[in-house]
Structure 1
Amino acid sequence: MKKETFLISTILVIVLLFTGCSYLKMEQKAVDLPIVSIKDTDDEISPAFYEKGFDFKYDVLPQLVLTDSNSELQISFADNFGNSIQLAEDYYTYRGDTGVCKRLSYHLKKDENGRISLPITRRGSDRDEEGIYYLKNKQGTFVFKVILPLKV
C-alpha cells in the first residue's frame, strides 16, 4: 500500500510539474525586436526591450556610434508594429559644462520594406552628444542609444 501511494504521488507530481512548465511556456509572448542601423555601415543592434517601462539605466542600452558628421538612422520592423511609427528622441547636447536635453517626437511611416529612416546629425560643437530613442507598441517599450562623438 505504501509503495502504491508513493508511486501515485510521484506520478501526480511529475504530471503537475509538466503541466505547469507547459503552461508557463504558452504564456510567454514572443517579442520581435526591431533592427537598428546607421546607413552605409555594417553595425546594427536590437533595442533593449522593457515590458513594463524603461528603467533609465542608460549605460546598459545597446548603442550605435555615428562615424560621420551626419547620416541616417534606419530601423527595420517586424509585423508587431503598425505602418505608422512614433519614435521619441531625448537628445543630449552641451554648451560648456552645461548639458541640455531636447525632447522630440517623430511620426514616421514604414516604407515597402518595413523600415523607417531618420536623418541624424550632431547639434553642438563642445562635447560628445547622444540620442536616446524610444519606440512603443502594445508589447512594451524598445530603447537604444546613438553616440555622436565630437571628433569623427
Structure 2
Amino acid sequence: MHDQSTDRWDGSVPRPVDLRLLAVVGGLAALAASVNVPFGGLPLAVVAFGMLATGGVLAHLRGRHRLHRITSGLAERWDEDGTGVEAVELAAGRTRTTWVVRTAAGPVTISGLALAPVSKVAIEWRGTTDVLPAADAEDRLDTLATSWFREVTDGTATVTG
C-alpha cells in the first residue's frame, strides 16, 4: 500500500492467493483420489479427494504465510535501513504469489512457490535474482535483507544464495 500524502510505505503487505497452484493441488488430489475408485469405490475416492485437497490447500496457506512474512520482513528492514520503501503491491494478475516492493532505487520483485514444505523464494532486482528455500530465507532474514539492501543501494552484484 502507498500513502499518497507522505509518499511513504504504510507498512502493509497484501495477501495473494495463487489460483494456479490451487488448481494444480485440486487436479492432483482428483487424480490421486480416482486411483481409489477400483479398490474402495466412489465413497473412498470422495474421502481421499477431500483429505488430499484439504492438505494441499493447507500447505499452500502455510507456504503463502511464510512468503508473506519474508516479504514483510524484508520491506520493514529495507525501510528501516533507508532504502525508501514507497509501496508493497501484488504483481499484476493476482494469480501468483508475487509482490513488487517499490523503492527509491527501483522495484524489487519477491516471488515464490507457496507450498510448504517445499516453499521457495526469489528476490529479483534489475536482472539479479537470488532463489533459496523459504525456510532458509526466513532463518537468515536479517542477513538477506542487509545483502539485498547493499545490492539495491550500491548497484553491486551480491549473491547470497
The alignment's TM-score, normalised by the length of structure 1, stands at: 0.31
Q: Between Structure 1 and Structure 2, which shows a larger proportion of helix residues?
A: 2
Q: Which of the pair has more CA radius of gyration?
A: 1
The alignment's TM-score, normalised by the length of structure 2, stands at: 0.30
Of structures 1 and 2, the one with the larger relative CO (CA 8 A, separation 6+) is: 1
Q: Between Structure 1 and Structure 2, which shows a larger proportion of strand residues?
A: 1
